[in-house]
Amino acid sequence: MSQRYVIRPTVPEDSQALLDLLSDTPQEGSIQLNFERQPNYFYATYIGTSDPDLWVMEDTQAKIIVGAFSIGKRNVFINGVPRAVRYASDLRIHRSQQGGRALYRMFKHYKEQTKDEWMQTVILEENKASMDTVSSGRTVLPTYYPAGRYRTNMIDLRRTEKRKIKHYVRRATADDVVIMQAFFDKEARKKQFYPCYDFSLIGTDNDYYRDIRLSDFFLAFESNGDRQNLIGMTGLWDQKNFKQTRIAGYANGMQYIRPFYNLYTKIFGGLSLPSAGALTSYLYLHSTVIANNETETFADLVAFARRELKNTRYDALVFGFDVNDPLHAVADKYKKVELFSRHFLTSYGEDPASELDSDRIMYLETSRL
């Protein structure tokens, strides 16, 4: 008798079934979100891990995919040195299988694949189901070792930017790639878990850099654009062509508060709440590196970005940092919405924290979560 549930690596033909599974499993919270990946499920996965490793659980009788998880690798800076680390994400279980043995089956396979490796994973604090799973103590699960709290800021783009920019800021060109790479390698390694970048791959067909444009990077200089005086860098990333966020609905009475809240934002500024079913219109800041983590430099880059985005279709600029990162002070000067997540290192062995320099603040790259 053939086995009904089979866990196997994904194949390209799984894309539509995975899109259906994603639609069936919205994120919990006062604002219920559907993370969509049209037109191809795998495009968004490939920007999260440069060495993908995706698995599905297939119901061979019903001929549907009822579960999925990703444990691919990407190079990140660990104690200042590049290292390939697994990133666990995209755990999805079809509603028909929740409460059953699907979680057990998938994590049993997960353990077989990862063996002694530890992994990173990030969970939204409002995702009660996932947070409950972490603390459930089930023997098949790895231990989730807390490794920091992450804050994502969504700042309003509709209000006029008032900051007077103090440094020289301009868009990047192809002639800047060498200094951008050198500056990035110098500054990014100071933060724990910062994903490594190869700026020479921007504009190529490499999936990890999909839709990133060199001209969407902003460079801050000490004076007059002298390339020897680069002191800050960040990039814009529009992911709408492969990754979308839809408002699935509102919970906990939020649907009744929404009209009054939106009226308030029209009068006093801030982000309004879209209607249920609407797609959000956000743009990411990514690859942010600032010499000495100076808030004034980052403030100039954000102000420049907001001016460049004036009168565009975007409602918000999204970026995140470790809750202990001083760069949050820049976001605090704007009308914004905040989301908080928990960062864990998962392992079937000892706490990996003993390997890490605890004096470094982390950087997770919101656009790749």
Nearest one of 263, 246, 319 to 288, comparing CA atoms: 319
Residue 12 counted as domain residue: no
| Confidence band for 191, pLDDT divided at 50, 70 and 90 | very high
Residue 345 counted as domain residue: no
How does pLDDT run across 112-129, given as a tens digit for each residue? 988 889 999 999 998 888
Whole-number pLDDT of residue 128 = 84
Residue 146 counted as domain residue: no
| Confidence band for 99, pLDDT divided at 50, 70 and 90 | confident
Q: Which H or E run includes 245?
A: strand 244-250
Overall pTM > 0.85:
yes
Domain count, the chain: 1
Share of the chain above pLDDT 90, in %: 74
How does pLDDT run across 63-72, given as a tens digit for each residue? 999 999 999 9
**Is there a contact between 152 and 363 (Cβ–Cβ < 8 Å)?**
no
Residue 49 counted as domain residue: no
Per the structure, the complete domain to which residue 161 belongs is given by: 155-243+269-340+350-368
Tokens coding 193: 């878990």
Whole-number pLDDT of residue 261 = 67
Residue 278 counted as domain residue: yes
Nearest one of 14, 8, 23 to 94, comparing CA atoms: 23
Residue 147 counted as domain residue: no
Secondary structure letter of residue 252 according to DSSP: T
Residue with tokens 């390698």: 185
| Confidence band for 181, pLDDT divided at 50, 70 and 90 | very high
Residue 110 counted as domain residue: no
Residue 206 counted as domain residue: yes
Domain at 334, CATH number: 3.40.630.30
How does pLDDT run across 305-342, given as a tens digit for each residue? 999 999 999 999 999 999 999 999 999 999 998 999 99
Q: How far, in Å, CA of 68 to CA of 91, rounded?
A: 6
CA distances from 212 to 93, 119, 199, 209, 366 (A): 31, 26, 10, 6, 15
48 vs 33, more confident = 48
**Mean pLDDT of all residues in 124-143:** 84
- DSSP assignment of 154-194: EEESSSPP-----SEEEE--GGGHHHHHHHHHHHHTTSBTP
